[in-house]
């Protein structure tokens, strides 16, 4: 089986600052992976590289076996760490937009999720609160049947109820052929839904291990183990 | 079912324990059809692969069995269930004894304390 | 995919452009009626002021539409591709070329549309100001048939050709203008700080560079014998055909500038994208 997301000796520098250094790992289909690291550790840079928004300085990055490009973009569903949907649009217009560009967009699923959260299809994003916008954005991203979901801080700025809803959505949409990468520093919240974790610090991968292996080996949760590893 | 988890054990083994408890206590009666891995994972808010692993473990122990097309069922073999129940009871007793010994009680003292406690309960 | 991008680009930009265009056309009618009113009701000073304001608004509206087309051209590129929305746009399964061309085509269409709207507005104003009953229709018809006859004499094929070539040329000129803005922003926004300021600076730098390049390019093509060739051909072929040749030359000229601006813009967006 081809890895959905693979890096081989990947490095990225911005001028003299090294954002990623010799990163190598591979994620198999069906895995839910936590990309965990302190702020500024290179999580977002890695995700941007996978989306073709940045170009590697060295090494290689493969999405479903191919370099980032038009083909990979059709297979990747990306949730950026900020609102990127045009604010003048309403959810209905957004669904039209996604339906036009992504063949794997499931409009029915999006409409169901909007209804379940009690969101108005006709309300412009501009008139919504920041949290509501994030929900709409997540619904669009999760309504695709992609091969790789890259979720950058999906639970960063939302209330606990929404956080639960987001995690439920990820579990409910689980597809054994697709992988999910969740970047976050709120580990205890996502730990239960992860298969594996990637610890990243200062642009380097420190560890790739399964959640239950960490618990078995160290007798503590990934959250506790993370705190120990990254103690200031 | 209560789906809270401890931090010091693998999640899949905690799932095994919880489901096992439901089976031996009769909450999930013998022969009962189980929800799908996906549904249970959603209910417990855990990764479906972890839930899958828990069921594999339960299948290995013979507490559940899967039928190719129709799904997963609780075993109807009472012997296996009783064995599991006994094993769990033994484990609880061992844990309890360990804790009591840490408090400084010896075997006989513990037994009389438990008996006294039971008497209290009856009154 | 280019078609879909263009469709959504029209939706995004039409929001700003269409209301302005409609207001302008509405104002042109009002202005026409006002001028007429001023001629008929000279005694009413109060009305004169009102009519004056309407005519002023009409002129302001026309200027506003032109400015708006320019603002839309710049802002659609800046916000939609280089701002937060860039995260959405650049992760679509679409090439950078399709992104640039969709923006170029739609902006150019709006430029041409504003140009047409301005003309239409004056025509509307004129029509509101003329008593259609008083027009000598037989004379009007005579003039028109006379004009038509002249056109047929000249060669209708040539006339239609000129119009089409002119449209293409206008379109090309619009594209080159847009590309000047796009390339300046592509450079400015590849930096981490002072993106907007640097874009403005680079816009002027590019303008100066192009104005240096222009005579250079002319001299170069002159030396290469292209102008001579054109002059010689003009002697050998008929007058109307020579005009076609000049149009073609102008188009190629625009094309060279377009390519010069396009290539770096494309490379920057593809390899040096620096979203906020």
CA-to-CA distance for C212 and C224, rounded, in angstroms? 19
Q: Residue B1 falls within a domain, yes or no? A: no
The answer to whether the CB atoms of A73 and C7 lie below 8 A apart is: no
With contact defined as beta carbons under 8 Å apart, do A170 and A140 qualify? no
C94 → closest Cβ in A14, A70, A97: A70
A212 → closest Cβ in B12, B38, B45: B12
Mean pLDDT of C236-265: 84
Q: Which domain holds residue B103?
A: 79-122
Name chain A's partners: 3 or more CB pairs within 8 A.
B, C
Which B positions 57-116 lie with beta carbon below 8 A of chain A?
A: none
A101 → closest Cβ in C87, C93, C270: C93
Name chain B's partners: 3 or more CB pairs within 8 A.
A
pLDDT above 90: residue A51:
yes
Q: What does the block give as tokens for B75?
A: 């075993």
Tell me which residues of chain A have a C-beta less than 8 Å from any C-beta of chain C. 14, 48, 51-55, 70-71, 73-74, 76, 78, 80, 82-86, 88, 93, 97, 100-102
| Other beta carbons less than 10 A from residue C3's beta carbon | 10
Choose among A175, A160, A159, A217: nearest CA to A77.
A175
Residue whose entry in the numeric block shows the structure tokens 């038509």: C148
Q: Are residues B49 and B70 in the same domain?
A: yes
C98 and chain A in contact, CB less than 8 A: no
Q: Are residues B66 and B92 in the same domain?
A: no
A168 → closest Cβ in B8, B38, B42: B42
A70 → closest Cβ in C11, C95, C272: C95
The answer to whether the CB atoms of C93 and A51 lie below 8 A apart is: no
For residue B53, the domain's CATH number is 1.10.10.10
The answer to whether the CB atoms of B45 and A223 lie below 8 A apart is: no
Q: Residue B62 falls within a domain, yes or no? A: yes
Q: Are residues B59 and B83 in the same domain?
A: no
Q: What does the block give as tokens for C46?
A: 């109060």
3-state secondary structure at position A231: coil
**Of B60, B76, B92, which residue is a domain's last?**
B76
pLDDT above 80: residue A104:
yes
Q: Residue B112 falls within a domain, yes or no? A: yes
Complex prediction ipTM: 0.92
Paired with A33 in beta bridges are A181, A196
Cα torsion C237, C241, C244, C250: sign: positive
The answer to whether the CB atoms of B11 and A195 lie below 8 A apart is: no
State how many domains chain B has: 2
Q: Find chain B residues with C-beta within 8 A of A32's C-beta.
A: 47, 49
pLDDT by position in tens, chain B (length 123): 778 888 888 999 999 999 999 999 888 888 888 888 888 998 889 999 999 999 999 999 989 998 877 888 888 888 888 888 999 999 999 999 899 889 888 888 888 888 887 666 665
CA-to-CA distance for A164 and A116, rounded, in angstroms? 14
B41 and chain A in contact, CB less than 8 A: yes
Which domains are seen in chain A, by residue range? 5-229 (3.40.50.300)
What is the DSSP code string of A54-103?
A: S--SEEEEEETTB-SSHHHHHHEEEE-SS--S-TT--HHHHHHHHHHH-T
Paired with A197 in beta bridges are A34, A209
Q: SS3 letters for A90-152?
A: CHHHHHHHHHHHCCCECHHHHHHHHHHCCCCCCCCHHHCCHHHHHHHHHHHHHCECCCEEEEE
b (16+ CB within 10 A) / e for B49-64: bbbbbbbebbeeeebb
Q: Are residues B91 and B106 in the same domain?
A: yes
Q: Find chain A residues with C-beta within 8 A of B5's C-beta.
A: 192
Which C positions 174-203 lie with beta carbon below 8 A of chain A?
A: 192
pLDDT above 90: residue C248:
no
Residue bearing the bigger pLDDT, A99 or B6: A99
pTM of the predicted protein model: 0.87
pLDDT above 90: residue A188:
no
Q: Find chain A residues with C-beta within 8 A of C273's C-beta.
A: 53-54
Choose among A15, A66, A51, A47: nearest CA to A152.
A47
pLDDT digits (tens, 9 = 90+) for C116-167: 888 888 888 888 777 666 777 788 888 888 888 888 887 788 888 888 998 8
CA-to-CA distance for C85 and C81, rounded, in angstroms? 6
Choose among A93, A95, A12, A98: nearest CA to A54.
A12
The answer to whether the CB atoms of A54 and C1 lie below 8 A apart is: no
Q: Residue B26 falls within a domain, yes or no? A: yes
Q: Are residues B15 and B66 in the same domain?
A: yes
b (16+ CB within 10 A) / e for C228-261: eeeeeeeeeeeeeebeeeebeebeebbeebbebb
């Amino acid at each position: 089986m081809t890895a959905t997301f693979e890096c081989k000796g990947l490095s990225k520098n911005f001028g003299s600052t090294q954002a990623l250094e010799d990163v190598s790992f591979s994620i198999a289909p069906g895995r839910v992976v936590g990309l965990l690291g302190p702020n500024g550790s290179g999580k977002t840079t890695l995700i941007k590289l996978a989306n073709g928004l940045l170009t590697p300085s060295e090494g290689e990055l493969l999405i479903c076996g191919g370099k980032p490009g038009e083909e990979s973009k059709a297979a990747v569903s990306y949730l950026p760490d900020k609102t990127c949907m045009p604010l003048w649009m309403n959810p209905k217009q957004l669904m039209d937009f996604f339906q036009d560009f992504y063949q794997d967009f499931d409009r029915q699923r999006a409409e169901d999720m909007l209804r379940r959260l009690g969101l108005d299809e006709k309300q412009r994003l501009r008139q919504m609160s920041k949290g509501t916008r994030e929900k709409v954005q997540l619904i669009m991203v999760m309504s695709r049947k992609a091969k790789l979901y890259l979720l950058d801080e999906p639970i960063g700025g939302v209330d606990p109820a929404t956080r639960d809803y987001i995690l439920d959505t990820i579990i409910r949409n689980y597809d054994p052929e697709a992988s999910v990468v969740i970047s976050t520093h709120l580990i205890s919240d996502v730990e239960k839904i992860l298969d594996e974790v990637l610890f990243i610090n200062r642009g380097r991968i420190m560890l790739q291990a399964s959640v239950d292996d960490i618990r078995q080996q160290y007798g503590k949760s990934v959250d506790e183990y993370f705190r120990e590893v990254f103690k200031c | 079912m209560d789906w809270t988890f401890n931090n010091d054990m693998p999640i899949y083994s905690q799932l095994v324990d919880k489901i096992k408890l439901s089976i031996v206590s009769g909450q999930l009666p013998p022969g009962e059809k189980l929800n799908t891995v996906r549904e249970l994972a959603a209910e417990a808010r855990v990764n479906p692969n972890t839930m899958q692993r828990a069921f594999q473990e339960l299948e290995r122990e013979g507490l559940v069995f899967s039928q190719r097309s129709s799904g997963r069922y609780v075993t109807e073999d009472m012997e296996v269930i009783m064995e599991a129940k006994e094993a769990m009871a033994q484990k609880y007793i061992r844990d309890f004894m360990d804790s009591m010994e840490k408090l400084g009680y010896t075997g006989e003292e513990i037994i009389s304390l438990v008996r006294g406690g039971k008497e209290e309960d009856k009154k | 995919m280019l078609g879909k991008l263009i469709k959504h680009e029209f939706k995004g930009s039409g929001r700003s452009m269409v209301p302005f265009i409609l207001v302008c056309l509405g104002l042109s009618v009002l202005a026409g009626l006002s001028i007429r009113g001023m001629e008929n009701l000279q005694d009413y000073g109060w009305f004169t002021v009102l009519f004056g304001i309407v005519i002023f608004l009409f002129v302001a509206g026309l200027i506003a539409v032109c400015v708006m087309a320019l603002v839309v051209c710049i802002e659609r590129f800046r916000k939609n591709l280089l701002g937060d929305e860039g995260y959405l746009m650049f992760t679509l399964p679409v090439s950078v070329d399709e992104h640039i061309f969709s923006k170029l085509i739609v902006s150019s269409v709006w430029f041409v549309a504003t140009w047409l709207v301005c003309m239409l507005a004056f025509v509307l104003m004129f029509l509101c100001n003329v008593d259609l009953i008083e027009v000598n229709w037989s004379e009007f018809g005579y003039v028109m048939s006379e004009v038509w006859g002249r056109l047929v004499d000249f060669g209708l094929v040539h006339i239609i050709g000129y119009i089409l070539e002119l449209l293409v040329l206008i379109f090309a000129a619009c594209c080159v203008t847009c590309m000047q803005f796009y390339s300046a922003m592509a450079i400015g926004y590849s930096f981490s700080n002072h993106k907007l300021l640097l874009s403005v600076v680079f816009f002027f730098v590019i303008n100066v560079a192009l104005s240096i390049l222009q005579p250079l390019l002319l001299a170069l093509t002159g030396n290469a014998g292209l102008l001579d060739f054109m002059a010689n051909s003009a002697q050998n072929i008929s007058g109307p055909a020579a005009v076609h040749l000049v149009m073609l030359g102008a188009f190629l000229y625009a094309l060279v500038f377009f390519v010069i601006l396009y290539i770096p813009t494309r490379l920057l967006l593809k390899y040096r994208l620096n979203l906020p």
